[in-house]
Amino acid sequence: MALESTKAEAATVRLVETSACPSGVRLVSPYHTNRSGDPMDLVALAQQVQKADEFIRANACNKLSVIADTIRYLQEQARTVLEETVRDADLHRAACNVVKKPGNTYFLYQRDSGQQYFSILSPQDWGSRCPNDFLGAFKLQADMSWTPADEAEEKEGKLSSLRQLVAHTIAEPSVLSLATSSLPLPLKSLQSPGDEDPLGISSAELPRGPGGVPCVGLPLEKGACLD
């Protein structure tokens, strides 16, 4: 039984082809020259092949898992973009008697007739005399998109960090070449401790290099920084 198992495993092993005349020199006994000294060598080779197959499959599954997670994330992002597009289009179609200007917050109400309209008066301005149902407050962005008022401050903070990054890149073009070379960017001139970078990571949480300068985690060794 053990011999049959050995033969079955040995069948999966691919050995190097033998030659009776290697380099033009004829061997007296090619069998004795090329045979395994230990009969268990074939078993070990078969086990190595099997183990390699297992590792290859495991690595493939891990990579596919990452790809699947990325696809699900992108699908969720696409769904969010489409939902925001529909919402913004509907808000722009709401009735309004004033010219809407980016940067201002407008308050959406609905009449008993079902008509939705924007007003510059908040429910607090109306007090207890608010004549219609209040649906929400929205801030008009420079790109003509709408942001719910309760999310505007967070979004503005991220945009502010991005503007600082763009301004810093324009002032020091070398920063752009460093970024494209996958080198870490020092954030000392961009952020103060506790500020968030454009990726939403607090500078207090970033790895520190020489002099305590926080570094952004572009693909290099963790904690690698520029002086």
| DSSP letters for 146-164 | EEEHHHHHHHHHHHHHHHH
Contacts of residue 122, Cβ cutoff 8 Å, sequence gap at least 6: 107, 137
Q: What is the pLDDT of residue 182?
A: 47
Which parts of the chain register pLDDT below 50? 1-11, 182-201, 203, 206, 210-211, 213-227
Q: What is the pLDDT of residue 35?
A: 61
Q: What is the pLDDT of residue 100?
A: 94
CA 25 to chain centre: 60
pLDDT tens readout for residues 136-147: 999 999 999 999
Q: What is the pLDDT of residue 167?
A: 86
Q: What is the pLDDT of residue 30?
A: 63
Q: What is the pLDDT of residue 59?
A: 95
- CB neighbours (10 Å) of residue 161? 19
Instruction: Name the token pair of 83.
Output: 């939902």
Contacts of residue 176, Cβ cutoff 8 Å, sequence gap at least 6: 169
Question: Residue 133: beta bridge partners?
Answer: 110
pLDDT tens readout for residues 108-138: 999 999 999 999 999 999 988 888 999 999 9
Residues 123, 109 contacting (CB under 8 angstroms)? no
Q: What is the pLDDT of residue 178?
A: 57
Indicate yes or no: pTM above 0.75: no
Q: What is the pLDDT of residue 181?
A: 56
Q: What is the pLDDT of residue 28?
A: 63
